[in-house]
Every structure is written in C-alpha cells, then in structure tokens.
Structure 1
C-alpha cells in the first residue's frame, strides 16, 4: 500500500510555534432544549431488521450457542457443526469455519483444551450468551457487523482544542465503543498518545492505554474489539512491539489466516471469543504483517470515506487508499465512515501570515448533537448510514465519531444508528457515563487568547 498518502496538513512557516495547548479560553454552555429536530422518536428504540428502509442488504446470521463461562483470555476448544438439511449432523473438530452455505453452526468451548462433539438440528440451538452486547452477534462474521469507533479515544482533556472525547476510555468501552482509534507519536524511544504534536496535547504513553483495554477485556470475556493505530510519524512498525508486549495485550491480538483477509473470510465473533483472539489491531501506515503479523495493514482490509471532513453532507465516496478500484471497495474490503465534523480556524491575523498556511481544523462541537443524530436528516449520522448502505450495498463496518456521548434525540444516538444497521434494538438507558458540565450543550467557542505564539525556528505540521 502507498504510504505517502497525505493527511490533512497545515504547515506553519519557520519561526512560528503554535500551541493550542492547555486551555480553550472561552467555553460556553447553551440550553440543550433549544436544539430542534424532527422525527418519530417512538420508533427509534423498536427498530428491527424487518423495518430496514435503506438497501435490502441485511447482515447474515446463523444460529449458535456459547458456553456461559469462559477464561478471561483463551478458551481453546471449538466444535463447529454445519448442516444444509433438516436432518441432524454430528461432527468433531477444531477451530475452522464451515464452507457450506447456508448452514447453522453450533459452537461449544471450554476454558481448557478438550475435544467433544456437537449436534445441530433444523431449529438450531438457543443461545443465551451475548457477544458484543447481543446474542445475534455470536454467529455473525466480524466483518458483517457495524461498530462505533471513538475518534482519538485517549484524547479526553477538558478545555483542550486537541480533545475529541469527553469520557474516559473505560467508560467508552462500557458504553459500547468497539473500535479504539488514536494518533500516536514516537518520542525519545517510546510511543505516546499525542494529538498533532506532543506540545499540543500529550496524554501519556500508548502502553498505558493498552493496559486499560487489557483490564477491560479481562472483565468482559465476550467482547471483541478493534484498534486503529494512527502512525503519525511513519515509524517502523517494530517500534510498537515493546509497548504491546509490556501491556499484556499480545495474547488477545488476532492474526489473520492470510494477507489480505477479505470481508468474506473473517471468523464469527463466537469463534474469536472462544479462541481468545478478540482484538483486531490495524495500522494506517508502515504496517508489515511479515514482521509483525498481529498489526494489520489498514488499507489492505478496509477503506475510508473522506478524512477530517468539513463537508456537512459527509459524502460516502472512497478516499483512502488511493487507487482502489470501485469493485474491490464494494465487494472485497470493509470500510470506515469518517463522521467527525471539523471546523477551520484561521490564525493568519494573529500571527501576521497572509499565505493561508495558518489554518487548522478542530472538532466542530457546536453542532455535535446534530452530527451524531439518529434521524435521516442532512448531516446526521443516520443519513450517512443510509447513504453509504445504498451506495455500497452494505452498511459501514465502522462509524468514526467525536464526542460519541452527545446526539439527538438522546445521548447514545450513535449506538442507535449502529443498532439499526445491525438489525437489533438499542436501549438508550445503557449510555453514556457521566457528562462533562463544560460540554453540557457541546457548544464551544475558541478564544485566540489560548493560542501561544513563539519563535523557535522550526515548522510544525498540524494534523487533526
């Protein structure tokens, strides 16, 4: 894959240091009741697959049963049985997907190595275990589910222009975020979570974020996560290995059976849970699956809609990677919809520049409730979901959002949109942690007084 595809970059001329650091000087909170919207709220929580109004595409589901107890890391025994006919079928085997379709699949496992048998019938087993929150997901392919991705999950610093979320990572996962994403930088031999530059926002070592996720995985053995690493400094992928090994996440990392692994080749969530390999880690640039097989090359497995969008229409066109054919984008790869609205801030007057190099992008928090909205109206996430589904014949696999806990008609609207794509019902009562008083209305004004300008003789690339 081409590794030189540009991000959104703003190059400041030499001798200018911009720090949108520590604070946004003016943050105001408006009355959320003033936000207007239309729609039939009563239909939102009762949505089902039969009510699907976009493309006729629906995610395929088989029938499965999972054990009610699992080791928090690995459960190694999987028995898979498939049958095309109403008659019973019995088989003994190991972890492998049936190639017979359509079929019903029964998964049995234990927290220790063992062998066994399983029998299916036309009716299929009754599963009471929830995978990623729903029993329906246990026998769906990983690539046949829509997940909500928190843009820059670790960047939770109140009143900082570089922040993208309001609630801590553990709360994000508890609420239903199933893709962790974030910008990383290589500084003094270690990987850090920094936004644009560590002088703007530095939330510490990447290893600490990994460790937080490991603790959550131990407490939630039936959950499958994705992780999208933004390699901002384009460093060699091996530099990420020490943090991975030290954090304890390595035993959870999924290794595909071949490279690339296209959309139809992925295992079910049930299979991933039973084998313990339930974290799929991607890297945007400089992944090398020969050297580090558990960090997947993002653009060999998925494509993205326009990056850092400022267009409120959120076009569902394919942007990254460049050169991908329409047929491959539609039929082979998963895809991620960037639905995080940005607003440009022009600092030219402040720093005396006239060549247009002093424009940066920050999250548009003033309109965040609308952007994350669950109605089929212009600029709302639901409209993007429907538009993308119609254009590509299947919903986005990942919905990337800022401040996921804001939206209409209720906090958690982003999860409602994902639930509709998946044909399941969502309960708003399960969201969304504790809201931040400073973002009660998600209305934010940036004061240029928060911008510190200095002359240190070097250029900075601002990447948001």
Structure 2
C-alpha cells in the first residue's frame, strides 16, 4: 500500500513539474526534499539560487521598537523555516567579544556571534535535509581562528563544509545531497580573513564569491556589474573562473543627518518576482542570468517576507517548494503590530535621547 502511494505521489510530482515547465532531471531518488524541493537534491550547490536575508540579525520589530535601522521583520529561525538559505550579518569586536552590530554596537546590537550561530545550529539539528549558507562581514578584521572559536563553542562547526582545495574558486561544487549525506551542510563565507587550516570550513569570501554593488538608492540602479572583487572584470568572466555570483538586491534611502536606512516604501516592488518591472528581484535575477550565462548563486534582500522575495529564487530554480512555514507578506509596523514605537523622528529606536544631539556627528552614516 505504501509503495503504491509513493508511486502515485512521484507520478503526480512528475506530471505537475512537466505541466509547469519544471525540469525533472536530478529529482531525488528517495523522493525527499533538499532545501524544500526534491528537484534540488542532485543539483550542484553552485547551480542553485540561494535566497538570502541581508543583515539577518538586525530586526525591525517589537524587540527593537521598530528601529528604522533594522533590515528584517523576522529572526533567523523564522527566515530559515520560510525558505531563506543564506544568512548575512556583520561581526564586530566589542572589547574582546564578537558581537553582531549594525555598523556600530552603540546603534543596533544583535547579540553575540555565538548566540546567533547557536540559533542556526538548533534549527539545522531539527532540519537534517537542509543546506545553509552564512556570509559574515568581518568588520574588525578578526582572524579566522578567533571567529572559528564561536563556531566551535556554538557547536555548529560540526556542520562546516571544507572544500578539498583552498586555492580559490571551484568549478564544481558538491550536490546538496552530497553535502547532506556527509552532514557538511553549512557553507560559511567570511570577509577579511586568510585561510586557516585549523578552521578549514571558514572560506574567505572573495576567493569564491563576487558581488554586485550595494548602496543602491533607486529602483533603476540595480545591475549585474561586478563590484567586488573589482579585479575580476565582467560577471561572465568571473563565472568562467568558477566564482559564485551574489546579487545585492536591496534599496537604501537617506534620512535626516545623512543617515541611510532601508527603503521600506518600495520594498513590495523591490522584492517582487516580476520579470517585467524595473527594480524587482525577478528582473534583476533574470538580467544577470542572461548576462552571466548562469543563474545567480545568491541574492540578498531586506525584509524577505515581503514579496515574498523567495519566489524569485523558486522561479530561477524552476521549483514548486514544499515544507515551508508561511509568514505574513505585509510590511510590519508598530501600529499594525500593536506596539508602541519610540522612533518618533524616524531616526530609529536609539533616537536622539541616547546620544543627545551627538547623532549629528555621524555625518553620512550608512547602515549596510
């Protein structure tokens, strides 16, 4: 009876995929889903678009009195359950402790790196068929060994993927199923580090990844030009060398005192999967796929639930996902959430009160 049901389910999945124009090659032989789809199990890691939460630790919710500096409405556990598979954050050295801080720990403190990693590990423990990617901006140039200590103490290092070669980009990455079977389901890219043989799972970002520009301030400003590392030339050239392409797809807007914060007013358009509207994630992703000859490997967005942004990754991957938690696609505010906001002037929850008028000295402070 069970085998008959499985056969019927597999047939239905195949027919559904064909009806939607979804490629069936590489369907998991077990029928299990990898990163929310059986179609992704036998695809190489670098042949998948992984949707990411930009500044994933910095929240705009009740906990932060809806700080305008926050980039996400939901925390990393909710993000992972909703299908996000790339988590980006900034790491700072605060008197010897590694903290997740939004440009400055005095402005928005997301807690310790160890706590952040522990939350992700707990989720991964409960979701053994999922491959997660981390991108940590190493703001104070801490050595890999020091950052790796937080991976060790949190326990998440056991999931770390270490490539066989550390000489730079790889033409072929393992499939998701290979990573899952080996239980090396965490791919970690760190900026401003050198390879350390004692922490081989910490990968210097720009040895493997190239990025488009960040700090975009208009819906027409997104493009596929390589911003970092600038030495790589064009995106198609970088891809031919084995680099993984990352789209920084989030808008910023300048407020009082030259402070730049996420542009929430346009977020529904920015995160849309539409491919015929200027400034959408769908249009940006399709454009780069056309220019580079491959789908972008990573896309980073603000407020991932709006759109929802994950639909662009599903579109590029050609999948109908399963096993995700549904979240509201609304922009959350203090009023809609029934929370009192202390951000009054729109500067953010730290406000002028905490700094007197010293906030003026921040000049062109940018929250990235």
- Look up the SS of the partner of 1:400 in the other structure: strand
Q: Which has the higher helix share?
A: 2
- Look up the SS of the partner of 2:57 in the other structure: coil
Cα 1:383–1:189 shift into 2, 3 Å: same
TM-score (norm 1): 0.66
221-230 or 236-245: bigger deviation: 236-245
TM-score (norm 2): 0.82
For 2:281 and 2:336, the matched residues in 1 are separated by 20
Q: Please tell me whether the aligned partners of residues 175 and 433 of structure 1 are also in contact (alpha carbons under 8 angstroms).
A: no
Partner of 1:315: 223
Question: Can you list the C-alpha shifts for 1:351-390, whole angstroms capped at 9, x where unaligned?
Answer: xxxxxxxx23210011111110121201111111111111
Question: Can you list the C-alpha shifts for 1:44-65, whole angstroms capped at 9, x where unaligned?
Answer: xx8979759xxxxx8x943543
Question: Can you list the C-alpha shifts for 1:180-208, whole angstroms capped at 9, x where unaligned?
Answer: 11011011111101101011001211100
Correspondent of 1:438 among 303, 311, 334: 334
Indicate the structure whose relative CO is greater, using CA pairs within 8 Å and at least 6 residues apart: 1
For 1:288 and 1:417, the matched residues in 2 are separated by 33
Cα 1:211–1:429 shift into 2, 3 Å: closer
Partner of 1:166: 73
Question: Can you list the C-alpha shifts for 1:89-124, whole angstroms capped at 9, x where unaligned?
Answer: xxxxxxxxxxxxxxxxxxxxxxxxxxxxxxxxxxxx
Correspondent of 1:222 among 120, 129, 141: 129
Q: Please tell me whether the aligned partners of residues 49 and 424 of structure 1 are also in contact (alpha carbons under 8 angstroms).
A: no
214-223 or 307-316: bigger deviation: 307-316
Partner of 1:270: 177
Partner of 1:420: 315
Which structure is larger by alpha-carbon Rg, 1 or 2?
1
**Aligned ranges for residues 148-167 of structure 1 at < 5 Å?**
148-158=51-61, 159-167=66-74
Correspondent of 2:299 among 374, 396, 399: 399
For 1:234 and 1:161, the matched residues in 2 are separated by 27
Partner of 2:247: 337
**Number of residue pairs matched by the alignment:** 334
**Aligned ranges for residues 288-327 of structure 1 at < 5 Å?**
288-290=195-197, 292-313=199-220, 314-326=222-234
Extract unaligned runs of 5+ from structure 1: 1-45, 53-57, 66-126, 348-358
Task: Say whether 1:389 aligns with 2:353.
Answer: no
**Aligned ranges for residues 344-355 of structure 1 at < 5 Å?**
344-347=254-257
- Look up the SS of the partner of 2:261 in the other structure: strand
Extract unaligned runs of 5+ from structure 2: 1-15, 338-342
Correspondent of 1:139 among 14, 34, 42: 42
**Aligned ranges for residues 197-208 of structure 1 at < 5 Å?**
197-208=104-115
